[in-house]
Amino acid sequence: MTTTSTQPAPALPGEELGPPPSLDRSGTKGTATAIRYALLIFSLAVVLIPVYVLIITSFKGSAEADPSRTWFLPEVWQTANWQRAWDALAAPIGRTFMLVIPSSIISAMLGSMNGFVLSRWRFPGANIIFTLILFGMFIPYQAVMIPLMKMVLTMGLPNGIPTLILAHVVYGIPITTLIFRNYYESVPQELIEASRVDGAGMLRTYFSVVLPISIPSFVVVLIWQFTSAWNDFLFALFLTNTETGPVTLSLNNLAHGSIMADYGASMAGALLASAPTLIVYILLGKYFVGGLMSGSVKG
C-alpha cells in the first residue's frame, strides 16, 4: 500500500519562496506611541511645575506665600508683589540691556573676523592659535576671578557695566570664534576665489562677500552671548555692585535683603528677570537651531 506525503516539496535552486505571512504590528506601534507621548507629557510636567509655582506664588500675599502652601492657588490674587519687584528691578534691567547688547555685538564681530581668518588664511601656526583660543572655553569662571580682579585693580578700571562688558567680550571670543570658523568652513571656496579674481583683498572679501551671508551664525552667536551675559552672576558679583550692576545682583538682593524672605516679590522678580531671554528664544528659537545646523554640513 502506497502512502502519499502531504509536505510541500522543497524549493529548487533559483525558485523564489512565497512572501512570509504578514505580521500585525498595529498593537506594538500603538504601545510605542503611547509610551512616547507619556514620556513627553512627563517631561513637560517636570519643566512646567517650577513655572507654575513661580506664577501662583507671585500673586500671593505674605501670609499665603508660605512653603507649606506652595501648590495651592492664592485665595486672593494680588499684584503688589509685581509692583515691588518692578520698583527694585526696573533700573537694573535697563543696565543689563546696556551690558548685553554691546557685549554680544562686539564679541560676535570679533569672533566672525577670527573665524574667517582661521578658516581661510592658512598661515603657519593657525591650528595652534585656534587651539589656544578654544582653550579659553574650558577655563571656569571661578578659576579666573582672582587674577581678573587683580588686573582690574592694577589697570584702575571702575566697577560697573563697562568693565563687565570687557569681561564678557573677552570670555565670549572662544565660543564665537568656534561657531564662525565652523560656518565659514562650509562656505564654498569658489565664492572666495571669485572675489579674489575680481581684485578683492581679504578685508574686501570679508565685508562684501562673507559678512552678508553670515546672518545664520550671527543669530546663533548673538542669542548665545545675550543669554550668557544676561544670566551672569559671578562676573557681576566681582566687577560690579547692586548700585551699578545687572539685574542678577539686584534679584539676589531682593530675595535675601530682609530678615524674612519675601517669596511673592522674589517669584515676581524672577519672572521679570527671565522674561527677556524667554522672549528672545520664543521669537528666534527656530533661527537659532537653523544657524547651528547651517555650519554642520560642508557645502
Is residue 27 domain-resident? no
| Per-residue pLDDT at 254 | 83
pLDDT at 299: 43
Kindly state whether residue 268 falls inside one of the protein's structural domains: yes
Confidence (pLDDT) at 255: 72
- Domain count for the chain, please give it: 1
pLDDT the model gives residue 1: 46
- Alpha helix ranges (H) inside the chain: 26-58, 80-120, 126-135, 141-155, 161-185, 189-197, 202-205, 215-230, 234-239, 247-256, 263-294
Residue 125: inside a domain, yes or no? Answer: yes
Cα gap 126→161, rounded to integer Å: 34
pLDDT at residue 9, rounded to an integer: 52
11 domain residue, yes or no: no
| 78 occurs within a structural domain | no
CATH, residue 256: 1.10.3720.10
Residues 7 and 153: their CA atoms lie apart, in Å, by 95
Q: In the chain, which residues have pLDDT < 70?
A: 1-27, 256-260, 290-299
- As a whole number of Å, the end-to-end CA separation of the chain is 78
Question: Is residue 2 assigned to a domain?
Answer: no
Q: What is the pLDDT of residue 40?
A: 93
Angle 126-135/80-120 helices, nearest 10 degrees? Answer: 160
Task: Specify the pLDDT at position 257.
Answer: 59
Q: What is the pTM of this model?
A: 0.80
240: containing domain: 83-294
pLDDT more than 90, % of the chain: 36
Give the number of other CB atoms < 10 A from CB of residue 233.
15
